[in-house]
Amino acid sequence: MEGRNVVVIDQRPLPHQFKLLRLRNHRETAEAIRNMTIRGAGTIGATAAYGMAQAFLEDSSARYLRKAYETLVTTRPTAVDLKHALDRVLIEAHDAKTAVAVAERITDEYVERMKRIGEIGLPLLPKNARVLTHCNAGWLAIVDWGSATAPIYTAHRRGRKVFVWVDETRPRCQGANLTSWELLNEGVPHKVIADNAAGHFMQRGEVDLCIVGADRIAANGDTANKLGTYEKAVLAKENGIPFYIAAPSSTIDPHCPNGDAIPIEERSEDEVHFIRGVRVTPRGARAANPAFDVTPAKYITGIITERGMLKPREVRKLWKR
């Protein structure tokens, strides 16, 4: 944060252009979350926390703060880290100064949690491991380390060879645009594949494990993540491949009993109709565009959190400790 401005990486023009944006007030910050200028559950949470701090700086009256909260919390309904971060700022902050401090603390905690997830997930990656990812759960999505990429980056930085299959992740192509860009910057060997190619490589024995992120984990272990995660999990189960979720404990929603209760965001049809401004469907065609799907707990081998490796059925216990 610079003064009252929240400074973010604009993820929309990546990988072809690196651009920083300065968001001048909580409304601009909310719009940047809504229009996917910034993406990823943890980054959404951290950015929203700073947006709430901006609201404190603008007008600390209870009425104004409640309205700002509603503006921010409704931007992305599936990602629970958003609400978690906003609630913390409202509960822990007493004025503008402490609101900024809480937002900074939330961001710093994400860094430490992701580093810990990297350590806990490291034993899952033997030398020469071949990992399949879906969407972007890297340091663009969760500050500094990412969640799904944290074990990969930890292994790579320690000299343990690892290879990554990167799903392109239509319709926004976060895998092709963002994860591949990150991996290139980290020097991690990888190949981008069409979403429909994952089963092919699993069937040929060329995938050792899958690690993906999460936007919300229900109390029974059902997990919402980017659309297409569910089918990857089913394919992994069919081919005897471990399927892991990597996410901070803040992504677990103890008030959400199961996947049926997770709200699924429906985004604009244009995200399906157009790729970087070029229409790929016939004029007059309609499109459906759910942003997420839910992977039932039975397809998940384990959930890597900063508080340890969990079986899906153990998620509920985490909040009773």
For the chain, give every domain's residue range. Answer: 6-114, 120-318
Per 3-state DSSP, the chain is made up of helix, strand and coil in percentages (nearest 5) of 45, 20, 40
Q: In CATH terms, are 6-114 and 120-318 the same topology?
A: no
pLDDT in tens, 123-148: 999 999 999 999 999 999 988 899 99
Mean pLDDT of the chain, nearest integer:
95
Fold observed for domain 120-318: Rossmann fold (3.40.50)
Q: Which residues are catalytic, by number?
A: 215
pLDDT in tens, 30-47: 999 999 999 998 999 999
Evaluate whether 166 touches 135 at the Cβ level (below 8 Å).
no
3-class DSSP state of 283: coil
Burial (Cβ within 10 Å: 0-12, 13-18, ≥19) of residue 321: exposed
What length is written for the chain?
Answer: 321
pLDDT band, residue 3 (cuts 50/70/90): confident
The pLDDT of residue 249: 92
**pLDDT greater than 60 at residue 298:** yes
pLDDT in tens, 229-287: 999 999 999 999 999 999 999 999 999 999 999 999 999 999 999 998 999 999 999 99
Query: Which CATH number is 6-114's, of 3.40.50.9100, 1.20.120.420, 1.10.3720.10, 1.10.10.10?
Result: 1.20.120.420
Average pLDDT over every residue of 52-67: 96
Spatial CB neighbours of 99, under 8 Å, sequence gap ≥ 6 = 52, 53, 55, 56, 57, 89, 93
